[in-house]
Amino acid sequence: MSGGRADRWVHPLAPGERRLFIAVPLGDAARLAVAHLMAGLGAPPEGGRDPDPNAPPSARLRWVRSTNLHLTLRFLGATPAGAIPALEAAIDRTARAAAPFEARLSGAGAFPSPARPRAVFLRVDAGAARLAALADRLTAELAAGGWPPGGRPFEAHLTLARSDGVPGAPAAVQALAEAAVLLVLKKTIDSYYKEEDDDTDEPSEK
């Protein structure tokens, strides 16, 4: 990979390593509703950005593919194959200790701020504290297996797009905020998964 801000932190994977994160999947109904919201703002069906320089700022964000929408609990980065069984065991212990609960998506925002957005997201309001507690328990289980603690405080959110270098990105954040005013989606948190990261901007959300 060459060029771009992501090169400043992404290191090549060693043989047998995978860049992983642990997340809560979005249910079908919520995913379709969010995909509809994204399409209304110009997101291409398969993610990415509209290459037309005359497209509105929201269409020129780098949108997440709708099939990949998730609530990240922990970004792990480069993970050797030999560590995966312990990782799966930590996820299983976390899941077995947690009762299902409901989380709700409502409203929008940006990291690090709407005026200087790098990542654009939907907020989690109801259920955010339960998600944070779940992330903390997962971190404790991972620490018991030798993983270092996470690099930043957990903040529940659903990332929709990256906005680095997009002219008018604050206007795109405002467009999302306006479109999301009436969006209220509920999701029962009852499953978790590990996934390979194909978006090298994941650690730069904040």
Number of neighbours of residue 196 by Cβ within 10 angstroms: 9
- Answer whether 31's CB lies under 8 Å from 66's CB: yes
CB hemisphere CA count around 29 (13 angstroms): 8
Q: Residue 199 and residue 90: Cα distance in Å, rounded?
A: 24
How many helical (H) and strand (E) elements, i.e. helices and strands, does the chain have?
4, 8
Name the pairing type of β-strands 184-189 and 101-113.
Answer: antiparallel
Q: Residue 35 and residue 44: Cα distance in Å, rounded?
A: 10
Catalytic residue among 19, 60, 62, 70: 70
CB hemisphere CA count around 50 (13 angstroms): 16
Catalytic residue among 62, 157, 162, 194: 157
- Answer whether 106's CB lies under 8 Å from 188's CB: no
Is 36 considered catalytic here? no
Q: Which of 176, 184, 183 is nearest to 159 (CA)?
A: 176
Q: What is the DSSP string of 104-131?
A: EEEEEEEEEETTEEEEEEEEE-TTHHHH
- Which residues are part of the catalytic machinery? 70, 157
